[in-house]
Amino acid sequence: MRTKVKVGDLEIGGGSEPVIMAGPCSVAGETEMLEIAVAAKVAGANILRGGAYKPRTRPESFQGLGEDGLKCLADARQVTGLPIISEVTAEKYIDTMKEYVDILQIGSRNMQNYELLKSIGKYASNVPVMLKRGMTATKEELMGALDYLIHHGHNDQIMICERGVRTSVNQGYSRNVLDLNIVSDLKKSVSYPIIVDPSHAAGRADMITDLSRAAIAAGADGLIIEMHTKPAKALSDAAQHITPNVLETIVRNTQDIYHAIRR
């Protein structure tokens, strides 16, 4: 039997309709976050995403608003009713994030941060977690990271996220290669819900719809997508943010494909 992750009244995986997590890469402020959250809700999203602590390649890049960003997300949840997923980047933030978010995201850069995984298993054992595959991680390494969470006390409310892997063949047309092979494999070899992140795979807004359709057709239990009401103003990863109108199309396509493949 496949595991269902429960977030309030929402069930993820286990044959349930695919979930759509949507929102900005980075939370930039209260007014903007509320506008995006309302647009995500209207478009059909089930969960609100937004980064408060941002691991960035360069130190001068925007690093997030920290707890102020979490407060913006919580205010948006109060208005829309959408549960929140946000990335935890260090053990010192776990207790703070538990006060605000409904799902902890472990980002691809931290998939093999074993001390962080141990701490989440120990100190956030009852908080649902989404574990993102590292950008060069094998399936064995991904399963090892999963085992760290479980071995150190997590209650098994875990999702696995495929977000594309770095190769030498995709330069010039996408950010990473979306590995749908592993989506199919994981659906057969583990019981946990499988989420796909087409935004970080493509790196381009114009490819997100196609990759989203492919992910659901391959059996993904949901999508996590970067969306902004004014994509050009996003403080990080602006090029891969879709608009609410595109999100609405993806939600509709997701439902159509889900029902079609279950006939």
Residue 169, pLDDT score: 81
R_g of the chain computed on alpha carbons: 17
Beta bridge partners of 56: none
Q: In terms of Cα–Cα distance, which of 105, 91, 103, 98 is closest to 152? A: 91
Alpha-carbon distance 217 to 134, whole Å?
23
111-116 — which CB contacts under 8 Å span 24+ positions? Answer: 111/137, 111/141, 111/142, 111/145, 112/137, 112/141, 112/145, 114/145, 114/148, 115/91, 116/88, 116/89, 116/90, 116/91
Segments forming the whole domain that contains residue 249: 5-261
Residue pair 48/59 in contact (Cβ under 8 Å)? The answer is no
Residue 153, pLDDT score: 97
Residue 240 belongs to domain with CATH number = 3.20.20.70
121: its two tokens: 């298993």
Number of domains in the chain: 1
156 Rama class: left (phi>0) / alpha (psi -120 to 50) / beta: left
Q: In this structure, what are the phi and psi dihedrals at residue 149, rounded to the nearest 5 degrees?
A: -60, -50
Residue 262, pLDDT score: 82
Residue 173, pLDDT score: 86
Residue pair 224/197 in contact (Cβ under 8 Å)? The answer is yes
Residue 64, pLDDT score: 76
Residue 105, pLDDT score: 98
AA identity, residue 161: C
Say whether 159 sits in a helix, a strand or coil. Answer: strand
pTM, to two decimals = 0.96
Q: Write out pLDDT tens, residues 143-183.
A: 999 999 999 999 989 999 999 998 888 777 888 999 999 99
For strands 47-49 and 84-87, give the pairing. Answer: parallel
AA identity, residue 20: I
In residues, how long is the chain? Answer: 263
Regions of the chain with pLDDT less than 50:
none
Q: In terms of Cα–Cα distance, which of 222, 144, 146, 133 is closest to 177? A: 133
